[in-house]
Amino acid sequence: MSGAAARGDRLVGTWLLVICFMIFGMVVGGGHARTIGAGFVIQTWQPFTGIVPPLTHAAWERAFGLYKATAQYQAMQPKMTLGQFQSLYLPMFLDRDWGRLMAVVFLVPLAAFRLRGRISNRLTAWLLFLFALGAGEATMGWYMTYEGMTSRILQPSPLYLGPHFVLAMLIFTAMLWTALTLRNPEPAILPGLARLRGLLSVSIGLIIATIGLGALVAASGALKVYNTFPLMDGHALPPHALALHPLWLNFLANKATVQFEHRVAATVTAIVVVVAAAMGLRAPVGAKARDLFLLLAGLVSLQYILGMSTLVSGMAELGYVHELNAVLLLAACIACRHALRGATAAVPLPVYEMKAAE
């Protein structure tokens, strides 16, 4: 690879890291909107023309009137003032505009890099596929809002919000991996670390699954049902954990069961990630990778502490911080796994054995 090509790959990789940062920004904005209960306040879908918020009093009244037609307003917010509506509307609106900006930051450089021959046909197809997933993600988000206008539900459904968040994390994982590969195309050969590499792959899957269950907890209001740890009001398994019919519905919509699932998944995930971090810190992986494993150990410890604190306090705001740290934890785990791309099962011979073989 020529020096110019190497620089080009690094530049493209840096651009994709910016996109990863913007995906994290979407989590920041979307999580904040959900935490303050703003999920249903915007009852219009104008992906290309709705880039400006209402500017006149009449426009604000029209937007408020649409929200007043929702079951959420009628059941939970019947005394809301226009000012209170605006305080909910603007965070949700900014989150949507951030998504629009992300589309521009993705498509314009993609076209420029493509015209200059900086990215291959294969990479172009892959990136367009990820963009299509992102468009599907946005459509799924709109459908949750649309449900609030056309049905009697009072909150965005966890049956949609959980997959919505998981899909975002899958896109984030793929984008970050691609960015890191473009910036560091040649993996270091690390003999004897294939098992650690596999453990990190499992860790990534567990983190994403636990994030999805956490989204179910947040969306269903399951945070409030049991606020003791490690037992659930003295029970290892919550009473009425299988009370809903059909049986499978309990694992998605029964608040007690959903909270139990998240507790168990978080504990298993924390143990696996801590083991992976400890193995990485003891392995001959190089200074940069060792720093990544140290970061991984710190973030998983912080994540578990935040989770326990959120559970015991019942504070949704602390749960929001817990959610953001989960994305940082996922990013650190992906970076550690990427650093071990060149890991092999073979263990190098000790020096004295190599001399004897010669």
Q: What is the pLDDT of residues 11-43, one digit of tens each?
A: 999 999 999 999 999 999 999 988 888 888 888
Please count the other Cβ atoms lying within 10 Å of the Cβ belonging to residue 120: 10
Task: Read off the pTM.
Answer: 0.90
- pLDDT for 170 equals 97
Question: Residues 113-157: pLDDT tens digits?
Answer: 999 999 999 999 999 999 999 999 988 888 887 777 776 777 777
Task: Please state the rounded mean pLDDT for residues 315-330.
Answer: 95
What average pLDDT does range 284-306 have in this prediction? Answer: 96
Q: Is 160 helix (H, G, I), strand (E, B) or coil?
A: helix
Work out the pLDDT band at 159, boundaries 50, 70, 90. Answer: confident
pLDDT, mean of residues 47-70:
90
User: Which token pair is 5?
Assistant: 């090509």
Taking Cα atoms as reference points, which of 44, 93, 97 lies closest to residue 67? 44
Give the whole-angstrom CA distance, residue 193 versus residue 344.
6
**What integer is the mean pLDDT of 231-257?**
89
Question: 344 forms bridges with which residues in the sheet?
Answer: 191
pLDDT of residue 350: 58
DSSP string, 98-113: HHHHHHHHHHHHHHHH
| pLDDT tens, position by position, 213-235 | 999 998 888 998 999 999 998 89
Q: What is the pLDDT of residue 309?
A: 96
In single-letter form, the type of residue at position 164 comes to H
DSSP β-bridge partners for residue 343: 190
Judged against a pLDDT cut of 90, whether residue 301 lies above it is answered with: yes
Q: So what's the pLDDT on residue 347?
A: 65
Strands (E), the chain: 190-191, 343-344
Confidence of residue 76 (pLDDT cuts 50, 70, 90): confident
Classify each residue of 149-175 as buried b or exposed e, where b means 16 or more C-beta atoms within 10 Å of its C-beta: eeeeebbbbbebbbebbbbbbebbbbb
pLDDT digits (tens, 9 = 90+) for 304-321: 999 999 999 999 999 999
Report the pLDDT value the prediction gives residue 155, as an integer from 0 to 100. 76
Q: Structure tokens of 117? A: 């021959």
Residue-level pLDDT at 209? 96
